[in-house]
Structure 1
Amino acid sequence: MATDETSPLLPTPELDSSIDNDNTMSSTLLWKTGAVFGATAVGLGAFGAHGLKKSISDPHKLANWSTAAQYQLVHSVALLVASNNPVAGALFTAGMTMFSGSLYALTLDTERFRFMGPVTPLGGLCLIAGWLALAFGKRGAGTRWPRF
């Protein structure tokens, strides 16, 4: 982009299409991540409700699995909403991975994955921070959904 005395100091999307392309790529990646996390939440929730009961009888473990699937599903939708906010999107992704992932692992084999116990609250903090980033982050004028 050539500059002259009439050029703005900061690039605008009209003058620098790479800004729009970067935002669209990030937004599309977050959108697809949210959709995949949502699909896996439904699948893992169904597995917990039907298949897992055959091998795990502890109601607390089954409740933990259900909580993991529920939080993953809710935050998958939040990730779709946050697709134009990369900070909130990254926090939701990390939070779901740590929070729900550690609960799934601990439910399947508490002894083997005991080291993941402290990961669960860290994931919860990421989820909380994601909501705060969504609340206080920059919201684009006329929020657009990603192009596929």
Structure 2
Amino acid sequence: MSPRMILLAGSLVMLTGVAIGAFGAHGLEKMLERLGRTTSLAQRAEWLETGVRYQLVHGLGLLALASFAMREPSRLLSAASVALLLGVLLFSGSLYAMTLGPATWKKLGMVVPVGGLAYLVGWGLLAVESWKRV
């Protein structure tokens, strides 16, 4: 990804993270009631909160990567950005689906660690790139 695309992705990840967090605070319970999914409301709220927290942290990571890549682009920084973005989609996305979906969607919990692994790969690639520059 180009530095501009990394910046755009990071900005959109932050934008949607804030919006989803606001939805969780102000509309989640009503939506779940409308959908008839009032069982385990506390668990669903916790899934949403965890998804938002990780999304925002890794959105900031993407913005930092964009800043580094604008100064000195590299394939590793680009790959790290893709990995972090994939992590957001898999980790947070699965938690959001579990939050809003029927009870059977709880099986998506198996995808969450794959997103966590993508986060680790992204941070690992940044560490390798940093080591090369020292």
CA shift, 1:31, in A, is 0.7
User: CA RMSD of the aligned region, Å?
Assistant: 2.0
Question: Deviations for 1:56-102, whole angstroms, at most 9, x for unmatched residues?
Answer: 45111101101101110110010111122101101000000000000
Q: Tell which has more relative contact order, 1 or 2 (C-alpha 8 A, sep 6+).
A: 2
As a proportion of its length, which structure holds more helix?
A: 2
Residues 120-135 of structure 1 mapped to structure 2, 5 A cutoff: 120-135=112-127
Task: State the percentage of identical aligned residues.
Answer: 37
Question: Deviations for 1:99-144, whole angstroms, at most 9, x for unmatched residues?
Answer: 0000000110143534522211100110111111111225897xxx
The unaligned stretches of length 5 or more in structure 2 are: 33-37, 70-76
Tell me whether 74-83 or 50-59 shows the greater mean CA deviation.
Answer: 50-59
The unaligned stretches of length 5 or more in structure 1 are: 1-24, 142-148
Report the structure number with the largest CA radius of gyration.
Answer: 1
TM-score (norm 2): 0.79
Whole-angstrom CA distance in 2 between matches of 1:89 and 1:96: 11
Whole-angstrom CA distance in 2 between matches of 1:75 and 1:137: 18
How many residue pairs get aligned? The number is: 117
Whole-angstrom CA distance in 2 between matches of 1:129 and 1:140: 17
Q: Within the alignment, does 1:107 sit opposite 2:83 as a pair?
A: no
